[in-house]
Copies of this chain bind each other. A is one copy, B any other.
C-alpha cells in the first residue's frame, strides 16, 4: 500500500465519553474508532448487523466451548430465533448440555475460592466440574432415560437429520437449541458427534446405530456452494471452525463476512487461534471480506453482540 493511501485512511482515535444513557448500542458505535479489542468487538457487531441485513447471506455459525454450562443457552437460542443463524455447526458436548437443560436439569454454580474446589471430593459427590460450573451425575441419568426411549427413524441417516429427529422428540422449552432448530429447520452439523456423552449413551442403548457422517460433509459443501453470499461467526474455534471453513472453500465467493471470538492465539499454529487473514490464503475467506477477530471470552462478547443486533435491527 502506497504511503499516501495509508495516511489517507488514518483517523483520530475516538476519545469517547459515556455520558448519554445506559445504551449499549451507542457505546458500541463509539468503540468503532478506538483500538485493540474494543474496536474489534465494535467491528464484529457492525459486520454481524450487515450479515443480517444482507438478504442473500447464508449465515454459518460455529459453536465450540462449554457455553451452555456457562449460561449462554438463551443467548444462542435467540440468535437462532431471530434468524441470525442459518446453519449451526457445533460439538456433541454442546448438544448434550442443551438436552440436559431442555429436560429440566441444571448446571450449577456458586461462590468458591480456588482451594475449595477439591476435585477428589467433587468426584466422590458426583459433581463433574467445568471450570467454575458443576454438572451432577444425575443429569446424565436423566439424559439416559431420554436417550433410551428415543425413536431412531432410520439407520445410516446423516447426523444432521438425526439431530432434527432428536429435537422433535424433546419437550417444549423456551431455550432449547435442538428444539428451535428442528422447528425452524435450521440444520445442525456435528462432525465429531461420537465425541460426546450423548453419543456414548446412544451407542450403549442403540447398539446398531450408525450415522452417515460423509453425507453431512457433502451436504455442508453443497450449502456453501449454493450460498450467494456467505458469512461466518466462529465462537471458540475447534472442529466447528474447520468444518465451516473447509466447506467455504467450495463457496464461489468464499466468506465475505467473517467474525471470530476466541481466546486462542495464532503463534502455536493451531486452527482455533489462526487469524481470519490466514483463511484468505486458503480461499475460505474472501480477500475483500469484512472481518474481525475479537480476543474475548465468548460469554462476554456474545451477549453484547446479541443485544446490539436486537436493538439496532430495522423493524420489518
Contact residues of A with B, CB < 8 Å? 1, 3, 6-7, 9-19, 22-25, 27, 31, 33-39, 41, 64-66, 68-75, 78, 93, 101, 106-125, 127-134, 156, 174-175, 191-197, 199-200, 202-203, 209-218, 221, 236, 238-239, 242-243, 246, 263-272, 274-275, 277-283, 287, 295-301, 303, 306-307, 310-311
Structural contact, B297 and A71, CB atoms closer than 8 A: no
The 6 closest A-B pairs by CB, nearest first: A34-B71, A38-B299, A35-B70, A37-B297, A192-B192, A119-B280
Number of copies: 4
> Complex formed: what's the CA distance from A9 to B274 in Å?
23
Structural contact, B280 and A15, CB atoms closer than 8 A: no
**Chain B residues, Cβ within 8 Å of A119:** 115, 277-281, 287
Given contacts A106-B12, A109-B35, A196-B246, contact A267 B131 (CB under 8 A): yes
Given contacts A297-B37, A297-B38, contact A269 B195 (CB under 8 A): no
**Chain B residues, Cβ within 8 Å of A115:** 114-119, 277
Structural contact, A217 and B194, CB atoms closer than 8 A: yes
> Complex formed: what's the CA distance from A175 to B300 in Å?
27
> Complex formed: what's the CA distance from A121 to B142 in Å?
40
Q: How far is the CB of A118 from chain B (nearest CB, A)?
A: 4
**Chain B residues, Cβ within 8 Å of A277:** 113-115, 119
CB < 8 Å: which of B23, B107, B281, B295 contacts A128?
B281
Structural contact, B217 and A69, CB atoms closer than 8 A: no
**Chain B residues, Cβ within 8 Å of A12:** 106-109
**Chain B residues, Cβ within 8 Å of A212:** 210
Q: How far is the CB of A99 from chain B (nearest CB, A)?
A: 13
